[in-house]
Amino acid sequence: MSETETDQSRSSVPTLDIDSDDSHTGAVQTAAALSPARDAVELVTFGCRLNAYESEVMRDHAAAAGLEDTIIINTCAVTSEAERQARQTIRKLARERPGAKIVVTGCAAQINPDSFAGIEGVSAVIGNDAKMKRESWTNALFGGGDEPTVLVNDIMAVRETAEHLIEGFDGRARAFIQVQQGCDHRCTFCIIPYGRGNSRSVPLGVIVDQVRMLVEQGFSEVVLTGVDVTSYGPDLPGQPTLGQMIRRLLALVPELPRLRLSSLDPVEMDEDLWRLVADEPRLMPHLHMSLQAGDDMVLKRMKRRHLRADAIEMCRRARDLRPDIVFGADIIAGFPTETDEMFENTLACVSECDLTFLHVFPYSPRPGTPAAKMPQVPGPLRKQRAARLRELGNQQLDKLLRTQVGQTAQVLVEKDNTGRTEHFTEVVIDGPVEAGGLYTVQLTGIADGKLTGRVITTAGSLVEPSAV
């Protein structure tokens, strides 16, 4: 999983774009400006796109409950660094805002509620299921007792995904929509199923209603997100596949300009999804793989569902259908037992697949997972391998940028004259543009790892861009 903008106007908490390599370790600070009630609730969001969506749901619930001077910390459990940063942030805010209610939620809080409840200044710890329920966000939750309220249930017993409609994402041009929750797989390195529960899908009608609402609010791009989005559908009537759901969504919301997908499993793309890759221009030519490694032995020890050849074949087939498509991937560096030869296979796989956007993580042992008990690669070596992968990723990105100079692109402006093309490359635009606007841009060069460009025409947006 992996995207967002930030607003630091209400706190000095460090921020990090969720699209960066360290997406699961950084915090995104968001502050509301829609109403006095929403403005009384602040959010610090760690981790993935799904957390970004859930943070907006929680903001609305907390505001509706009348909570004031409240800070919600939405944690991530993917890495130990993500948890460390969350704890550090909580302690910092408790010192700076001694009168504020601090509510800790998210995957790390679901898995280790008592450890967060024990941090001084924490008012409540709310689990991943409870945080999505309006009744959890009441003033009664913070009764003023000496001990924090802990509201965490058995996530494995949850069988349905709560249905929500949110009006938008403060300060963002793209919207993230939950279509699936949880995961039925048990990769040996991953603790997330114990924070999210088993896989369950959001019905199509709810997704359609949400997308329509967001388009009406002026969003030109929607990102479909979940824990394991390619597992969408088997728990719903008729057992629709992800591709079938997307095909119906696009047919029912023809006014949506751009649809983007979050991380995909290389062996679980259905035939309807392949047809959309080939024929649907509103589906962005940018796919992100949950690759994790490019060596078969490492993949087997990870208990992944694919092998190296599957990833290569996915990229080949997609490029045959849509030659301009680009790929990103999540990769873990220094997985237990990974030898130099195995790591070199991963490096080579990046080149063979011609991957561009790499989200690289040094392996982080998660207590309770099988991989944590395997022979470990030394920490400094993990970091060295991660650095080599990131360097290769930068080289791959530079190669892509050079191929795009001189072309035109549809750019969705996010902030500060900066936006994203259909291929997710970042563009700095010369001239006045408005966040949320969709522009046809002539790509003129490269500066500081980003494309540069000038506006040719306004491509369209429900939020009318400034005259250019």
pLDDT attached to residue 61: 87
Looking at the structure, tell me whether residues 91 and 230 fall in a common domain: no
pLDDT attached to residue 87: 93
pLDDT attached to residue 51: 84
Look at phi and psi of residue 203 and say left if phi exceeds 0, alpha if psi is from -120 to 50, else beta: beta
> Is 6 part of any domain?
no
> Is 388 part of any domain?
yes
Q: Which of 124, 153, 182 is a domain's end point?
A: 153
d(CA 173, CA 48): 17
d(CA 229, CA 177): 11
DSSP helix/strand/coil, 401: helix
Between the ranges 122-126, 166-170, 442-446, 454-458, where is the mean pLDDT highest?
442-446
> Is 44 part of any domain?
yes
Q: What is the CATH number of the domain that holds 431?
A: 2.40.50.140
> Is 139 part of any domain?
yes
pLDDT, average across residues 165-185: 81
pLDDT attached to residue 125: 92
pLDDT attached to residue 465: 35
Q: Which two tokens stand for residue 297?
A: 């032995």
- Of the pLDDT bands very low, low, confident and very high (cuts 50, 70, 90), residue 13 is very low
> What is the domain range of residue 397?
174-403
Q: What is the CATH number of the domain that holds 311?
A: 3.80.30.20
* β-strand partners of 45: 28, 74
- CA dihedral sign of residues 381, 386, 389, 391: negative
Looking at the structure, tell me whether residues 297 and 389 fall in a common domain: yes
Give strand ranges (E) for 33-165: 41-46, 70-75, 101-106, 122-126, 149-151
pLDDT attached to residue 132: 85
Indicate whether 14 pLDDT > 50. no
Looking at the structure, tell me whether residues 396 and 450 fall in a common domain: no
d(CA 151, CA 157): 15
Q: Determine how β-strand 258-261 pairs with β-strand 221-225.
A: parallel
DSSP state of 264: B
Looking at the structure, tell me whether residues 81 and 138 fall in a common domain: yes
Q: What does the pLDDT look like over 197-251, one tens digit per residue?
A: 899 999 999 999 999 999 998 899 999 998 899 999 999 999 999 999 999 999 9
Looking at the structure, tell me whether residues 343 and 431 fall in a common domain: no
In one-letter notation, the amino acid at residue 34 is L
In one-letter notation, the amino acid at residue 95 is R
Q: What does the pLDDT look like over 372-389, one tens digit per residue?
A: 999 999 999 999 999 999
Cα radius of gyration rounded to whole Å, the chain = 21
Return the C-alpha torsion angle 351, 353, 355, 359, nearest 10. -100
Looking at the structure, tell me whether residues 133 and 196 fall in a common domain: no
Indicate whether 341 pLDDT > 80. yes
Q: What is the CATH number of the domain that holds 82?
A: 3.40.50.12160
d(CA 419, CA 198): 35
In one-letter notation, the amino acid at residue 455 is V
In one-letter notation, the amino acid at residue 446 is I
Looking at the structure, tell me whether residues 333 and 197 fall in a common domain: yes
Q: How many domains does the chain have?
A: 3
Q: What does the pLDDT look like over 61-103, one tens digit per residue?
A: 888 888 888 899 999 988 888 899 999 999 999 999 988 889 9
> Is 12 part of any domain?
no
> Is 8 part of any domain?
no
Main-chain phi, psi angles of 386, to 5 degrees: -60, -40
Q: Which two tokens stand for residue 355?
A: 């991957």
Looking at the structure, tell me whether residues 291 and 280 fall in a common domain: yes
**Of the listed ranges 17-21, 363-367, 395-399, the one predicted with least confidence:** 17-21
d(CA 457, CA 414): 17
In the sheet that holds 286-292, the strands lie side by side as 286-292, 326-333, 357-362
Where helices occur in 304-458 by DSSP H, the ranges are: 308-321, 340-353, 379-404
Q: What does the pLDDT look like over 129-149, one tens digit per residue?
A: 888 888 888 755 665 566 788
Q: Which of 359, 387, 403 is a domain's end point?
A: 403
Looking at the structure, tell me whether residues 142 and 194 fall in a common domain: no
DSSP letter string, 173-193 = SEEEEE-EE--S---TT--TH
> Is 438 part of any domain?
yes
- CA dihedral sign of residues 217, 181, 133, 93: negative
Looking at the structure, tell me whether residues 314 and 249 fall in a common domain: yes
d(CA 153, CA 411): 43
Q: Which two tokens stand for residue 180?
A: 């699936």
Which positions ≥6 away from 424 have C-beta within 8 Å?
260, 284, 286, 326, 328, 357
DSSP helix/strand/coil, 356: coil
Answer for the pair 252, 222: CB distance below 8 angstroms, yes or no: no
Looking at the structure, tell me whether residues 281 and 134 fall in a common domain: no
> Is 113 part of any domain?
yes
Query: Which pTM was predicted?
Result: 0.84
- % residues pLDDT > 70 (the chain): 86
Looking at the structure, tell me whether residues 107 and 203 fall in a common domain: no
